[in-house]
Each structure stands twice: as structure tokens, then as C-alpha cells.
Amino acid sequence: MEALAVRLSGLDSYAEGAIRVVVFYDTLMRRRVDLPALARASAGLAECPAGIRIHGTGQVVRAASDGTPLSGPPGAASSTVPIVLDEEEIGAVWLERPGPPVPLDEVLLDRLAIAAAAVLERYGPARTTMADPALVELAISADGDQAARARALRLLGFAASAPLCVAAVRSALPLDRVAGLVCASRPVKSAPLDGVGVIMAAAIDTSGFPPDVRAGVGAAGSPDRSWRQARTALRFTAPRRPVVHHDDLGALALLARIPPDAMRDNADVAAIARLSAEDLETLDAYCATGSLRRAADVLHRHHSSVARRLDQIG
């Protein structure tokens, strides 16, 4: 590579500088440096503060141009590049140059991002959340044998005997971002499966789900049982209750076992199915609050209007 740099140095000053930056980071990667060493070397090369952030752990490493570690909140970034591993953005690198970026900043940050991804892949502390859907399906399937499930769990980074919590998610947001919000600690794995997002972790913080995300969460235990519970809980989500934990359903979970044809043949169910969207919203608010006045507050209507509509529905 050094010989190639010498031969290409005659092209122009930018090409020569870019090749030297590439050689610089190739040398660092051969030496198997860690993130702090990468930040120090990059700051020295750029002659301005440099930083590395890992999304999954919240780790931030910054260094001044003289190699001194920097603490406190990062300064304004003059240039930023994402760290990508297995097609997932797992962090970012940046320069805190006082003025505008210089021509080689983009090349420097591109190589720094590649080097940081190589370090994280080799040592951690951040592994990707997205996993092979085939492995996830094998881990949560009720039909697979225990040996195959145990092997899949080990390949995903979980202990075969450890209880796992599984969530079934419908979201327009990237699944890895949702997983990072509800599973701040690692390991956590996610994958799309049959049109539904699967999130697996030792524990899932249901308060972390973003708005407009529908999620059903199973109890911690066997992953196949937790997945079955999560899919059931997902069926009970609604605009006023977008996240449902299976344990909170109680006896209502038994409704999911009724054959669809049997439900459709029931006269009361058929009558509810014929209600307008406005009537369904009124009925949902009343059943959720258990009070005429509280339902009126939720619907932003006068309680007498809600009472008349409930009479009509009845």
C-alpha cells in the first residue's frame, strides 16, 4: 500500500493526501487499536477534536488534537459520518473543527468509521441488534426441537437456558431503532418475520416504545411461549392502548382462542362489526374509562351527547 501511495502521489495533492489517510488507518487497523486510540490518532491527524459515539451503549470517546481525552458534552460537529456494521447504523464519528471542513475531512471520517466498525465487530462493546430472520424463527418456533433452538439462541448471543422476553411489533420506524429504545442493555436481537417485527431480550421496557408503534409483549420465559403470548397481545392493541403486555390481559387472552368463524357467527359480534367508526370510538372510550363523564373528556364531547350515542349503540 505504501508503494502504491508513492506511485499515486504524482496525481495531485488531494489524491496524495487521501492515499496517505487510507494508509494511516490501515496501519492502525493492523495494530488492532481500541476506540480511545482511534480517537486520539484521528484527532492528531485532523489537528482538531475527534469523537466516536456508540448508539447501543451510549459510549462516547473524544480526544483533543494533542491526544488528551475530552470529557463533557461534545462540541459542535463540523463533519459527521455514521458507523455501519452489517447494514445497521450502530454509531457515529465526527470532527469538531472550529471552522468549515477541510477537503480531506470526509476521507478521514470515512476511514475512521470503517476502523471503528472493525474494532466493535472484533471486541464489542456494541453488537448489531438486527439478526438473521432464519435464526430468530428457529429460536421462537414452537415446532423446532430443543437442540436446534438452543443452537440458534447461542448463535444469537443468548444462553440457551436463560429466560427471554419476546415482543411482536408493527411499526413504520426501523426495527433496530425500536429495539434500542426498549432494550437499552445488550444483548438484544430483532428481525422481521411474516410481516411482524420480532424483538428478543432478557427484559423489554414497554415505556420505551415510541408513539404510533403497536406492540404485544410476552412474559419472560421460553422464547417460543413468549412469542406466542406476544402475538396474542398484539391482537389486543388499539389506538388508545398501542402497547399490551400479555400478563395484563388476564382472562381476556382466552378470547384469542375462539375460532374466527365462531366469532363471526355470533349475533352480538356481528352487530358490533356493523358499527360506524365513530360509534366504535365512543364504545371503546366508554369501555376503557368505565365512566360516562371520563369518556366524554376523552372524546372531547359533552357527556349528554355521549350518553345519547351509547343509547343508540345499545
Q: Domain locations in the chain?
A: 2-123, 133-254, 260-313
Distant-in-sequence, close-in-space partners of 227: CB < 8 Å, separation ≥ 6: 140, 166, 168, 198, 218
Confidence of residue 245 (pLDDT cuts 50, 70, 90): very high
| Res 214: pLDDT | 96
User: Which class does domain 2-123 fall in?
Assistant: alpha beta
- Give pTM, 2 decimals: 0.59
**Residue 225: pLDDT over 60:** yes
Out of 54-63, 70-79, 263-272, 305-314, least confident range: 54-63
Confidence of residue 128 (pLDDT cuts 50, 70, 90): low
- Nearest Cα to 44, choosing from 13, 79, 69? 69
| Res 8: pLDDT | 39
Q: What are phi and psi of 144, to 5 degrees?
A: -75, 160
Helical packing angle, 292-299 and 277-289, nearest 10°: 130
Segment of 23-37, 70-84, 85-99, 216-230 carrying the highest mean pLDDT: 216-230
Tell me which residue has cell 486510540.
Answer: 37
Residue type, 61: V
Query: Whole-number mean pLDDT of the chain?
Result: 87
Out of 6-10, 124-128, 205-209, least confident range: 6-10
| Res 75: pLDDT | 87
